[in-house]
Amino acid sequence: MKYFLDKYDSLALALGLLILSIAMFFPVSSDMATFIQGGMILNNGGTLYVDYFDVKPPFVYYFFEFLYSIFGKNITLYRLFDFVYQTIFLLSCIYIFEKLDFRKNAIRLFTVLMPMAYVTLSFPHTFQVESLLFLPLIWYYYLSSKSNSSITNNILKGLLLGLAINLKYTFGILLLADILYLIIQRKNIKAIAFNTIIQLSIAFLVTLALFLPVILSGNFNSFIDFFDYMKEYSNYPSLGFSWLQNTIKFGTAFFTENYSLVLFLGALYTIFKIGTKDREVENIVSVKGLLVFALVLFTSVVIERKLLIYHEQRLFPFLVMLSSVGLYLIFAEIKYYKKLTIAMILFVTVFFSPIPRVINILKFPLGVIKVGEREFYSTLIEGNEGRILNKHFAVADYINENIKSDKVLLINTGGNEMICYFEFDYKYSFPQSAFYLNDKAPEYLKEKAFVNIKDAETIILQNNDHSHIMFFNDDTSLSSIQKNLVIWDYIVTNFKQDTIIEDNFLIFERNSSK
């Protein structure tokens, strides 16, 4: 690769990988625990939509079944896998952006800024399906950029599109990005239509292949039933002025705070330069492609309506490169300023960049090395939700020390981290109690939950897991289950409350005579 002919190229990559390595010291997050739970149940002989229910496409859980068969519940190995995966993605970006004739300094900036943008989202928002999308996404963009529109090229794009759809259904919007990008490149409309048909056909075959385990198990009808139910989830919150206000507020906060003001301004400067057709932007078509993909992916976030931080990271491969191009152009313009002026500009730039957050997030490797994983993670608060990992450790410790059975049922919504620390494999069907406790839950899910409850010897019930996005109201698992008179009456009749841990997790033990 020509890129590494200069020592500064290798230096930039080394710095980028050093920053990226911080992610190896992140603890388990609630979403990662959900994926691991699915992989655990499938690895132990369970089937999707019968023994395990969740909202992602089946491929995600089969992928984590594979990872679980290798890593078990060792979170460090999952984080190491993420580091390796993102390293391959970073090397792919270097290769692709060099092939597309981006300025070397812009690529160097990207090599450092992309890991910064990723790790500063912190541990709840990394190793998501959005971050697994990075690798197929950047190669899809590259194939869309090639002047060659051969059948082979479109078959490859179809394979990547199919993989993206099976990470999250809304990622299928990539096809729209491809079409718009080809129009920008002035490709023939008939050729675009033909290529689109090829892609859709291949993507359909990929999806069919990845759904085969569900189809062959005879559980496809169960998938359809659950998919119909999840339409209620996808339609929340309802469209309206309040939703529009919240979307604008969230988007502004994300781009200026989570992403950083400096990087966002760098991207805007690139867009400005595209509009002026400045000759300094030599590969203007490829840069327009970055913008098209970023805007289409942002549209998919808006369509999903959920306004969660990690959803936005699907833009990063394109957004960070737009920022890198813009910052390179800005630096090229100010390098002739007086030294004092440059120093002041650099100081402000650093202050409003991700660098201060990188420094802050160094607490992860430093804390883990200094006091150990368990002790350091116990001090962390996960996002704005106030769920402290220490509470999950405390529940897991209590269960491991006092319960001799694996019939332990967790009834909560928002975080199943504790199951990664049980000494046994978790066996029950729902990562979110809201699936069967919210007002719109279908009867078959309530019935399955009741089967789980009847089988359990110990129940862990959370009383502070407010999640309006899941329950569609301000209830918790405790208050929701108390409204379900059939289930609550069974629990009250057949179980007794043994203790409460950290004020939030009620432990119920089955009556010995039952």
The verdict on 164 and 101 lying in the same domain is yes
Same domain, 309 and 405: no
Euclidean distance between CA atoms 473 and 438, whole angstroms: 8
Q: Which two tokens stand for residue 44?
A: 């132990």
Asked if the structure places residue 66 within a domain, the reply is yes
Q: What is the pLDDT of residue 513?
A: 61
- Give domain status of residue 195, yes or no: yes
pLDDT at 393 over 70: yes
496 pLDDT higher than 90:
yes
**370 in a domain, yes or no?**
no
pLDDT at 229 over 80: no
pLDDT at 334: 80
Residues 341 and 397 in one domain: no
- Do 405 and 455 belong to one domain? yes
Average of pLDDT values for 312-335?
92
Does 360 map to a domain? no
Pair of tokens at residue 161: 């599109």
CA distances from 89 to 97, 114, 504 (A): 12, 10, 40
CA distance 63 to 281: 40
Q: Determine, yes or no, domain membership for 398.
A: yes
Same structural domain, 278 and 167: yes
Between 191 and 472, residue with greater pLDDT: 191
Distance CA 314, CA 331 (A): 27
Instruction: Give residue 415's domain range.
Output: 381-510
Task: Give dist(CA 350, CA 337) in Å, integer.
Answer: 18
My answer on whether 281 and 214 are in the same domain is yes
Q: Which of 434, 405, 435 is nearest to 422 (CA)?
A: 405
Same domain, 336 and 391: no
423 inside domain: yes
| 79 burial level (CB within 10 Å; 0-12, 13-18, 19+) | buried
How far lies 185's CA from each of 193, 194, 287, in Å?
14, 16, 12
Mean pLDDT of 306-332: 92
What percentage of the chain exceeds 70 in pLDDT? 95
If one counts the domains in the chain, the total is 2
Q: What is the mean pLDDT of residues 267-275?
A: 90
User: Does residue 369 fall inside a structural domain?
Assistant: no
Check: pTM over 0.95? Answer yes or no.
no
Q: Categorize the per-residue pLDDT at 140 as very low, low, confident or very high, splitting at 50, 70 and 90.
A: very high
Model pLDDT, residue 385: 42
Within 8 A by CB and 6+ apart from 105, the residues are 328, 331
Of 266 and 225, more confident = 266
Nearest alpha carbon to residue 453 among 484, 407, 498, 497: 407
Residues 239 and 304 in one domain: yes
**224 — pLDDT class (breaks 50, 70, 90):** confident
Average pLDDT for residues 386-392, to the nearest whole number? 78
Return the higher-pLDDT residue of 230 and 158: 158
Residue 102, pLDDT above cutoff 60: yes
Please give the pLDDT value at position 380: 83
Residue 39: partners with Cβ closer than 8 Å, 6 or more residues away: 61, 63, 64, 65, 66, 67, 68, 69
Mark whether 334 and 433 lie in a shared domain.
no
What b/e string do you get for 421-450 counting C-beta neighbours within 10 Å, with b at 16 or more?
bbeeebbbbbbbbbbbbbeebeeebbebbe
Mean residue pLDDT across the chain: 90
The whole-number pLDDT of residue 32 equals: 94
Q: Please determine, for residue 386, whether its predicted confidence score (pLDDT) is greater than 50.
A: no
Residue 341 has pLDDT above 80, yes or no: no
| Residue 340: predicted pLDDT | 77
Per-residue pLDDT tens digits for 252-261: 888 888 899 9
**272 and 318 inside one domain:** yes
Selection from 214, 236, 237 nearest residue 226 by Cα? 214
DSSP assigned state of 48: B
Regarding predicted confidence, which is higher, 513 or 510?
510
Identify whether 301 is part of a domain: yes
Same domain, 388 and 294: no
pLDDT: which is higher, 219 or 85: 85
Question: DSSP assignment, residue 511?
Answer: -
The answer to whether residues 338 and 427 belong to one domain is: no
Bridge partners for 382 per DSSP: 387
